[in-house]
Chains A and B, each alone.
Chain A
Amino acid sequence: MLTKTNRVWILLFLAPCLLMFVVLIGIPLVNVVWTSFADYTTFSKPEISGWGNYEQLLFHDDSFWDAVKNTLLWVLLQCTVGVSIGCAVALLLFRKPFGWKFFRAVYMIPSIIPTVASGIMFYLLLNPELGIVKPLQQFLGSQGPTLNLFGNSSYAFWALTLTWLFYSAISTVIIMAELGTISGSLLEAARIDGASRFQIDLFILLPLLRNIIGTCVILAAVGMITQFDTIYVTTKGGPGSSTLNLSVYLYNTATLDNDYGLTNAISVMQILLGLFLVLLIGRAFKLGESHE
């Protein structure tokens, strides 16, 4: 198929995106990478200083490792539980129960609400004086002080996880779009063979969704690595380092420490970690290969 005219077309197809990528992202990215090797603050020009920033991060910075640990745990949870929920909802809606379009739209709404609003909602809902925890505990007959979910470092991580784990509408929408392209005759044939709906989901649909679920897992992983807004509105990474992830840590280094060199070293580490995960997920899902 690679005829000469095709070659020209291929180049034409690639060029705009590559151009956009190189100019708008490549140039700033190069800047980020080289200044990660520099002494560089908000108020001074970068001066090359070698591996100092990385040494600082990797060997003298507990917060960095706390942030990496939390980030990875959140990635794991979102890629497994989160995407599974999104996928389950998609399969459920694909059965076209009465009102499925309504449910599809409704499930998307939380992903549209700006985080400044939803974040403060979660903050108040889990507030030990005003929120849902006190009445719930009373209902369950527990004595003693109300659990302070965002205020106690033993619970804060899980409290934050609850604010996003169930909202996997993005996965649902992506998977539903793919489900729509699967031929009805295939399902009909399976049904005639006596397969239950659940068996169809499990043994016919899921394998066909491999590529797109892989994509959802990648997006979920990336979403957790770059998660910032909800944490910033509710806990700012605290108490202690219990909800500190790489994005919040990076933000703090830039705006509180004014240290752009270190910030950019964290960026580079974040990109490397993310790429490693993306490649790993790609391998696991044999991503990029045709189904045939």
Chain B
Amino acid sequence: MLKKLSKGVMVTVAATLLLAGCSSNDNKNANANNGIDGEEVTLKVLNYHVGEDYAASFFKKMFDEFPSSELGKGVKFDMQEIPTTDAYAQKIKVLFATGDIPDIILTSGNNILDLAVKSGKIADLTPYFDADPEWKSSFDPGALERNSIDGKIYAVPNQKEIAMIYYNKALFKKAGIAEPETSFASWEEFFAACEKLKAAGITPLSLDTNDFAWLSSMFLGAMIGTANEEGNKFMNALHPTNFNNLEVVDALKNLKTMLTQYSTQDAIGGKYDPMAAHFLMGEVAMISNGPWMVPDFSNKEKAVEGLSDQIGVMLFPEDGMVNVPGAGDMVSAGDKATTDAAVNFLKYQTSLDNQITSLKMTGIIPVSSKAVVPEEFNKENPLVGRMLELTTKAKYQFGENQANWYQNTLDTLSRLLPELAFDKITPEDFAKKLEEVAKKNE
């Protein structure tokens, strides 16, 4: 029924009503009674989805509406806003060290699950999942496994990380490149297309190296992840330390070519924002990113007029894509009433309906394959719709290095890429250096 309704106030109202209805049914097995006998529970939350954050409005809605839902009865939030994930990571680490962690620890892309578990300060959520089979079964087993350590679930995933290549159809046409069906059949074809674009006076790729080299990492990961089985395994591993291997070295070699031959001059040392702007201004033919970039294509402040009609999306060469369940939100190991209430919030946030709401409001892909995307959505958002469709055609699936690799390894990657581009380090030494740094974490 919900599927037929369009956006707007009606959805919100209806969804809230529906949810209230659903969750009261769940009450028998779910712990919906927060606090003891009507006493209020206050949940401490650090929220970095504020200000300019892409998911600010979605999280505001969640925090506003939860207390009036059935699951959130008697819950109040003690909300602390922390603008930027950078500041959030700094503060949350200080709080871990001082023992003052919030009751709900929102994931921020920086995977601290194993460290948090080691600290003994976060709650084992396995009993909650076992007590509510319906909730548990709404997640794919892989998603829960990714948030488990030694068979115990410690975090609730709330998104699927996916990424592919966006391309500018007009620029492809100008260079005489046919739009691939799902992807370029091989990396050779991809590089041939880059060469063609370059010959036509068009910069093929938006890349960067600063701030953990987000855009370049996409291609680097894709080249490793589609190289062979070994490489694919490597790109799916959490916190790998064995960088000194053929797949990584080859990918670095190719990335060097991309940075020096096929990208803008400012890619080396470049930050994400201005590099994305090159694509948004219609100056560059391809960029790789997640679906959260889609709203930017039609944002008049950021993109040239009419860009959104020119954007196509394809898989990485050889039908590869980033497709992994994300690291989830954690709950502090406090007293039972607080933990119960915190888990209830995460249940609310990851209800199938709210996963769809999240998709609509932020472009975040639902982590549950059971969350059915309404057809209207695909019609109104053909690009994301196409991405969801391509997801079913991917041959190689792999994770993002930004989520999987140790932070200091990403920092080293980011600082050495310019050295690679300017011939100051060989791909072989680069790989060795990454391995050396990654091993510092052990």
Contact = CB atoms under 8 A, between A and B. Distances in A.
Interface stretch (B16-24, B39-47, B167-175, B418-426): B418-426
A282 interface: no
Contacts of B441: 257
Given A42-B115, A236-B210, A130 B266 contact: yes
Contact of B411 (A146, A150, A256): A256
The size bracket of the interface on A is 20 to 34
A196 B271 CA distance: 52
Contacts of B414: 236, 238
Most chain A CB within a 10 A radius of its CB, from B209, B269, B411, B425: B269
For A41, A252, A256, the residue with the greatest tally of chain B CB atoms inside 10 Å of its CB is A256
Interface in A221-242: 235-241
Contact of A43 (B116, B408, B411): B116
A159 B422 CA distance: 17
B265 A129 contact: yes
Question: Which of A41, A240, A252 is the most central at the interface, judged by chain B CB atoms within 10 Å of its CB?
Answer: A240
B97 interface: yes
B140 to A, nearest CB: 28
Interface stretch (A2-10, A120-128, A187-195): A120-128
Given A152-B418, A153-B422, A239-B418, A129 B264 contact: yes
Interface residues of B, number: 38
Contacts of B210: 235-236, 238
A127 B266 contact: yes
B437 to A, nearest CB: 9
A118 to B, nearest CB: 16
Given A44-B118, A238-B415, A241-B415, A153 B424 contact: yes
B96 interface: yes
Nearest to B95: A42
B252 interface: no
A258 B115 CA distance: 9
B62 interface: no
A26 to B, nearest CB: 19
Given A43-B97, A235-B269, A238-B415, 8 more contacts: A42-B97, A123-B271, A151-B209, A151-B422, A238-B210, A239-B415, A239-B422, A255-B93
Interface of B: 89-90, 93, 96-97, 112, 115-116, 118-119, 121, 209-211, 264-266, 268-271, 274, 278, 407-408, 411, 414-419, 421-422, 424-425, 440-441
15 contacts: A42-B96, A151-B418, A236-B411, A238-B210, A238-B414, A238-B416, A239-B209, A239-B268, A239-B416, A239-B419, A239-B422, A240-B415, A240-B425, A254-B93, A255-B93
Interface of A: 41-44, 123-124, 127-130, 145-146, 148, 150-154, 156, 235-241, 252, 254-258, 260
